[in-house]
Amino acid sequence: MSEHEEGPAAARLRAALHAEAERVNPVGNGLTHIQNRIGQRHPRGWPLGLRPFAIAASAVLLVSGGAVVTLVALHRNEQTELRIAAAPDDAKGPSSESNEASSPPGKPADSASPDKATVPVYFLGETETRNGPQLYREFHQAQQGSSRSSELSTDKLKTTLTTMFTTEPADPDLDNPWSPRTQVLGVNRAGDLVTVDLSQEASTTTVDSKTAQLGLQQLVYSVSAADESVRQVRVLVEGEEPETLLGQPAPNQPLTRAPRLDVQAPVWIVAPQHGDTVSQTFTMRGWSAVFEATVSWEVVRDGKVVKEGFAQAERGAPEFGAWQQKLTLEPGRYELRAFEESAEDGSHLFIDTKTITVE
């Protein structure tokens, strides 16, 4: 097929894919190690020699006719994927649909405690191999006031934001740039636009520019995770358009979600959460956007790796997909690790860790 027949956009994307592939140069025995692991993968995977052609063909389809078809339109949305990743062992398979705020394993469902709500909250965490922090998400139980049915949506959003500002992350590796004194003065909804009114701490708390940008994405992602119909968020401070947010010049508003690959960490352990207690046989579940959809994992006890392996996510980078690994461990305290193994030197990239207790 000529460049004219496939279209200039497809040709450019094909060239970019080839260029990116040529940058990978495994050293030492890295290539052999990777090939051995690929040979053991899930039978759904393509043979190694055919994968580049499958990727290129998919890329051409995505830009066919010169119009980019968004991945969101082709696959389940993030809320559904995260719910699948956090689903308990006896939940239905990937075809079942719900929203991101479904209760994770070991967390009481909303219906069990009417004055409590399970809310998804994003926090910031370092990935070490990326320039600056990235977003991770946890589920938290929060107090929810009684509201009329017409106010339930905004009440859930207010609860989510209040939890985001005032609750410490369960994982000590995560952080929150917002002051815990930040108050949610009001939440209003008009279609897919939500306007949140915050106290002055939202402006006066000061962080660096990159952290401030991600902090605003933390807010947008948390709000739109609590209600997936939200597409835009306007932030007011004391009822006025702010000049600064998190001590930096306020960006143009309303705010929207940045692309996930730009702000979300590529590898998460979604369940168990940090500090959870689990039975001897449990399922570690996660969320990733990694090469060849292969997520490596380790189980560490007293500083020693006692188990290791890899899991196959439903999709690979540049898409995010759910993955899982069933484990059986003796009672005790463990650290779970998930990461992408570097194709160049076998190093561990984008490590996420969770400390759990097995009883």
State the DSSP string of 160-208. Answer: HHHHHHHPPPSSTTEE--S-TT--EEEEEEETTEEEEEE-THHHH----
Mean pLDDT of the chain: 76
User: Which amino acid is present at 226?
Assistant: A
pLDDT value of residue 141 = 85
pLDDT value of residue 85 = 54
- The CATH fold assigned to 267-358 is Immunoglobulin-like (2.60.40)
pLDDT value of residue 57 = 40
Query: Residue 324's closest CA among 91, 162, 143?
Result: 91
Prior bond of 108 cis (ω within 30°):
no
Query: Residue 285's closest CA among 333, 338, 357, 228?
Result: 338
- More confident site: 23 or 192: 192
Q: For helices 152-166 and 209-226, what crossing angle results, to 10°?
A: 150
User: What would the two tokens of residue 65 be?
Assistant: 């006719």
Quick: pLDDT tens for 109-165. 444 455 677 889 999 998 766 667 899 999 888 876 554 444 557 888 999 999 999
Q: State phi, psi for 24 to the nearest 5 degrees.
A: -80, 125
Task: Say if residue 53's pLDDT is above 90.
Answer: no
In whole angstroms, what is the distance from residue 156 CA to residue 141 CA? 12
What does the domain layout of the chain look like in residue ranges? 3-69, 100-258, 267-358
Cβ within 8 Å of residue 262, ≥6 positions away: none
* Contact predicate 238/199, CB 8 Å: yes
Residue 315 pLDDT level (bands cut at 50, 70, 90): very high
The H or E element that residue 336 is part of is strand 332-341
Question: Which SS3 state, helix, strand or coil, does residue 264 take?
Answer: strand
pLDDT value of residue 55 = 38
Task: Say if residue 330's pLDDT is above 60.
Answer: yes
DSSP state at residue 91:
S
* Contact predicate 51/343, CB 8 Å: no
* Contact predicate 3/320, CB 8 Å: no
Task: Say if residue 54's pLDDT is above 60.
Answer: no
User: What would the two tokens of residue 214 be?
Assistant: 């991600």
User: What would the two tokens of residue 86 be?
Assistant: 């956090």
Cβ within 8 Å of residue 112, ≥6 positions away: none
As a whole number, mean pLDDT of residues 311-315 equals: 95
* Sequence-ordered alpha helix ranges (H) in the chain: 3-6, 8-23, 30-38, 51-62, 71-74, 78-85, 152-166, 201-204, 209-226, 260-263
- More confident site: 355 or 154: 355
In whole angstroms, what is the distance from residue 20 CA to residue 2 CA? 21
List residues bridging with 309 in a β-sheet: 297
In whole angstroms, what is the distance from residue 296 CA to residue 128 CA? 17
* Contact predicate 257/278, CB 8 Å: no
As a whole number, mean pLDDT of residues 321-342 equals: 96
Taking phi over 0 as left and psi of -120 to 50 as alpha, with beta for the rest, 128 belongs to: left
pLDDT value of residue 117 = 76
